[in-house]
Amino acid sequence: MKVHQLHTALRVAALGVALSGLAACASAQSEAVRPAVQQVESKQAGDTPVTPPAPAAPAPNSTVAELQSLIQGRQVSELRTTYNGTYGASLLFKSDDLTYYVALFQQKDFWRVVQTQSDKQAETTYRAFAQQSADLAEVDIKRIKLQAEYARSERILAERSGQLATLQADQSLRRQQEQQVAARQEQARQQAAALSQQQQQLRAELNSMQNQIDALEAQQSELALARENPAPARKQSRK
């Protein structure tokens, strides 16, 4: 009865214990438990996960301290582990006295540890801790997704900005070219109009000159005929 009361007191005390570091136990952890810690590290929620203040060292007689000591001594085996973001739950077993330890943790820190010799209670507590880790990680997971969506939106915005700048540059160049073409066409039209007017003036001058030439040639022809065929002298009539 006293042992049961002691275990109950230890479990109650464990509920108020703050997060304690797994760094001390990670190096001496069993091969079954060590991958769990490594997986938690490999699945951190983003580059800067939400981390609670540094926890105080667990009380020497707490269940957390007891489990850490057992892990360091490789006296427990990992049966199950669930990860949700930076949170997780583990079910460990001490085979020499058939004792189960159920731990709720964040990153490398034990948050809650429950000790029991009841297989059913251990499984029930583990499932409860696993669900609690999922609930706790929901905000972190949402933040991770939002960060990813924001980063993607930034990349798309940069791409669209570059695309817009290219289109604007193309449009500006096209307008400049259109203006240059329009200016060249206007200049060509003005030159054509001037040349047309000059051509008309030249034609008028050419026609005038041709008329003068024709008149002079006609006069010369008449003079030549007159010299070749002089008119006969008239006879004077007698009275």
Q: Is the CA virtual torsion 45, 47, 49, 53 positive or negative?
A: positive
Q: What pLDDT does residue 68 have? A: 87
Task: Report the distance separating Cα 98 and Cα 116, nearest Å.
Answer: 9
More confident residue, 38 or 91: 91
Average pLDDT of the residues in 49-75: 70
Please say whether the beta carbons of 130 and 146 come within 8 A. Answer: no
Tell if the pTM clears 0.85, that is, is over it.
Answer: no
38, amino acid identity? Q
Most confident by average pLDDT, 35-39, 120-124, 158-162, 172-176 = 120-124
Q: What pLDDT does residue 57 have? A: 54
What pLDDT, in 10s, does the model give residues 97-117? 999 999 999 987 898 999 999
